[in-house]
Structure 1
Amino acid sequence: MPPSPISERKLLQMPASDYMNERQLAFFRLDLRAETQAEIESGRRAIATAELAAADELDRATAEEENRQRLRFTERKYLLLRKIHRALEKIEDGSYGYCEISGDPIGLQRLLLRPTAELSFEEKARQEELERNYTKRRG
């Protein structure tokens, strides 16, 4: 029998020793995939049905820009969908909620903000600092 649903508040009140137990994993297993796939399909339909044969150049340019924005939105959703699939695989193999680099817990608050997070806050900050330093040296 699957564990009963848990609220975000109760999730955060659980002791550290309960980190990534069945109830917490069930909370993160929520089907974000279906919502994201629906958004992708909606974007694809909007792009396919967009009318670019407008009366004047300004209307046509506006329609083309709207189409570019829809395409960019849809591409971002595809990337998110890949991350969601990876997160669901990690839930199944037991590695969800742990940093890919250090192996430390990512933390419930970070996972609530970004359920597809793969790095702990510390590792992500270290990675961003390295990127900033690299950009400064190149610039």
Structure 2
Amino acid sequence: MDEKALLAMSDDDYMNEEQLAFFDARLVELRQETLDEIEASKQEINYGRVSDVSDRATLEEEAQIALRLADRKRQLIPKIDKARQRIRQGEYGYCLESGDPIGIKRLLIRPTAEYSTDIKNINEKRERRYEDKR
């Protein structure tokens, strides 16, 4: 099954076995890509010796950026694992808060999505309001 066939299915077929298998395969692929990207980021870091102070500072800054990127990617792994667990439990594709369908289009963009667009927007507004009060 491809994305086009997935999008062509009726709403009555939402999160049937074919769709769950599609998203499980996509999550497996995303997990492996993420692990590969983390490893590539680690390999990019140049720890060579440089005598020039500005060159050393540049290398250290590049290493810090690479480590931050790798850390952000590393944080995606548990989200992928949780999404796959929701597939096995039959809860994948439904908002954790409202129980409403998240939607195929949103899941294609972000297969680890846990909330419907409406609930995500409400939560983000709530977070911004909290941050503004601090």
2:13 counterpart residue number? 18
Aligned-residue CA RMSD in angstroms? 1.2
Q: 2:63 aligns with which of 61, 67, 71?
A: 67
Higher relative contact order (CA 8 A, sep 6+): 2
For structure 2, the 5+ residue unaligned runs are none
1:37-52 residue pairs with structure 2 within 5 A?
Answer: 37-47=35-45, 50-52=46-48
Describe the superposition over 1:102-137 as per-residue Cα deviations: whole angstroms up to 9, x where unpaired.
111101111111100001101001101111222233
Q: Distance in 2 between matches of 1:119 and 1:86?
A: 13
Q: How far off its partner does 1:75 sit?
A: 0.3
1:1-139 residue pairs with structure 2 within 5 A?
Answer: 6-30=1-25, 31=28, 32-47=30-45, 50-138=46-134
Sequence identity of aligned pairs in percent?
A: 50
For structure 1, the 5+ residue unaligned runs are 1-5
Count, aligned residues = 131
Describe the superposition over 1:9-58 as per-residue Cα deviations: whole angstroms up to 9, x where unpaired.
111110001001111111111221111111112222333xx224213111
**Runs ≥4 residues deviating over 3 A:** none
